[in-house]
Structure 1
Amino acid sequence: MKIKEIYEIAIRKGIAADPRGKEGVRKELARRKKDYDDLKESEKKDFDQESLRNPYSDTRVLYGDSDLDVQGVLVGIDMEVGEVLLADRLQEKGKRIDLVISHHPVGKALAALHGVMHIQEDELHQLGVPINVAEGLMAGRIAEIERRLMPVNHNRAVDAAALLGIPLMCVHTPADNLVQDFLNRYFDKNEPERVSDIVKLLKDIPEYREAVKRNA
């Protein structure tokens, strides 16, 4: 499988599980297209044109040839400079590592993290919170994250990957969408009534059970 195929699958799966629904995602992409079309020609060159087809600014191929065939992957929640160096070391020891995939965004995907947080407004709305209230609740937090990330040296891992010649990508919101969709269906099926019921149900899931053992 090629890097671009992994990337496309991530986007497609993320949209399928998006709390806004496919129509909501389509409308969001249409709004972005209008914003792009309204720009001056001199401004269009700075526009992230990938955002016209990928609704998740925190999910990107950050370095590497998208046509590269991938047979071995190093995947983790946080893949920073140390993990990129680990991939390089594993390659030296004979491990096949063609691609590093981080869940949490790095590089330009991290710098644009605040852009995807509006999805949480739709999630709150689905739970019965009026959309204007949800937007008000999230506005401060979104602005806080944007300010917090402004001074961050967000491209360190990407630069390290480029220097070592190791392809790097991140998949954030699509993965979160899939987890949220799984848990929603899981809870709907089991109908927990108390927080303690939810905790018990979560511990029945192998990954959560393992997390408990690790004090995660």
Structure 2
Amino acid sequence: MTINQIYNLAVKMAKKVDPRKDLPQNPYPDSAILNETGSKVSGYQGVKKILAGIDMDSAEIMLAHFLKCDLAIGHHPHGKALASLDKIMSLQADLMHRQIGVPINIAEGVLKKQIAIVKRQISPINHYQAVDMARHSKVNFMCLHTVCDNLAWDFVENHLQKSFRVSEFQSIRVKNVMEALLTIPEYQEAKKRGAGPQIIAGARTNRAGRVAATEFTGGTDGGKLIYQALANAGLGTIISMHMKEGNREQAEKNHINVVCAGHIASDSLGMNLFLDQLEKKGIEIIPTSGLIRVKRMTDS
């Protein structure tokens, strides 16, 4: 596969499970090819070896160069993709509307302030540090952020549906949601590493009510204002990748249970679902930078 074919496959997989409708050709500004050297891997011979990780910074780029990898794939964005992080956050409004039933005008309204905050927060960051290292080291480099987060979100949602019938949500406990998450290998390994799923709002014995993985995709967190809207729409338990303390307090204030699945484990889940497709095509994957590599080659 060429670099463009790899990137286009990621976009295709993400669009297939995207909560939005009528998507443009590429609706993921935070996922991009960041550096192409113009070497053989852009042409017929293609990519044979990839260094893949969660945070691909300058050190990881040098590692890719040292290991003679054809491509470095990071999860978290760099370059223009990082500078465009705020532009993907509107996805969360569609997710809140279609998945939970929050009226779209309210979903867009409560996100508007946070999108502006994120835009200001990312503005002063040194976006191109790792990209420049890739350019000087002649390392092909891409980041796959929301495209992989979409895959993780879809996987966890389907896993919940397989674990519990919708009619059972009123009787199951938060501890049962935790137990369901811990049947996923990435979360099992994260627990061994001391960073497994944890209940950060509510209690193990609380009834879960309606459960949804609402904080898995869409760039970054949606801010403090979303929790009242989610509670009003009937959400009982959130499964989140990660949550700031102020957001956690707002969820608790609105009597929403929160299960924090774990940031790096959740990112690894989304990356793994994509990387499996590359391994099926004979590409060697070298995991690094926190990536918990789990293969599901026989599942599809």
Query: Residue 194 of structure 1: CA displacement?
Result: 2.8
Output the TM-score relative to the length of structure 1: 0.81
Deviation digits for residues 77-120 of structure 1 (CA, Å, limit 9, x no counterpart): 111111111212323xxxxx110001111110000011001111
Residue 84 (structure 1) aligned with residue 61 (structure 2): yes
Q: Which residue of 2 aligns with 1:5?
A: 5
Aligned residue among 72, 76, 79 for 2:49: 72
Deviation digits for residues 187-213 of structure 1 (CA, Å, limit 9, x no counterpart): 111116332211111111111100111
Residue 173 (structure 1) aligned with residue 171 (structure 2): no
User: In structure 2, do the counterparts of structure 1 residues 156 and 139 end up closer, same or farther at CA, with 3 Å as the change threshold?
Assistant: same
Q: How many residues align?
A: 183
CA contact 1:25–1:55 (8 Å) conserved in 2: no
Q: Which amino acid aligns with 1:67?
A: S
The DSSP-based 3-state class of the residue aligned with 2:55 is: coil
Alignment partners' CA distance in 2, 1:70 and 1:194: 47
Q: Where do 4+ consecutive residues of structure 1 move more than 3 Å?
A: none
Q: Which residue of 1 aligns with 2:173?
A: 194
Query: Residue 132 of structure 1: CA displacement?
Result: 1.5
Residue 212 (structure 1) aligned with residue 188 (structure 2): no
The DSSP-based 3-state class of the residue aligned with 1:75 is: strand
Deviation digits for residues 36-66 of structure 1 (CA, Å, limit 9, x no counterpart): xxxxxxxxxxxxxxxxx31100111110137
Deviation digits for residues 147-202 of structure 1 (CA, Å, limit 9, x no counterpart): 01111110111100000000000111111111111111111111163322111111
Aligned residue among 96, 102, 127 for 2:100: 127
Q: Which amino acid aligns with 1:59?
A: S
Identity of aligned residues (%): 44
RMSD: 1.4
Q: Which residue of 2 aligns with 1:47?
A: none
Alignment partners' CA distance in 2, 1:25 and 1:61: 24
Q: Which amino acid aligns with 2:6?
A: I
Query: Residue 128 of structure 1: CA displacement?
Result: 1.7
Residue 18 (structure 1) aligned with residue 18 (structure 2): yes
CA contact 1:84–1:166 (8 Å) conserved in 2: yes
Query: Residue 16 of structure 1: CA displacement?
Result: 0.2
The DSSP-based 3-state class of the residue aligned with 1:163 is: helix
Q: Which residue of 2 aligns with 1:183?
A: 156
Q: Which residue of 1 aligns with 2:33?
A: 61
Within 5 Å, which residues of 2 pair with 1:87-126?
Answer: 87-91=64-68, 97-125=69-97, 126=99
Q: Which of the two has greater strand per residue?
A: 2
Any unmatched runs of 5+ in structure 2?
196-300
Output the TM-score relative to the length of structure 2: 0.59
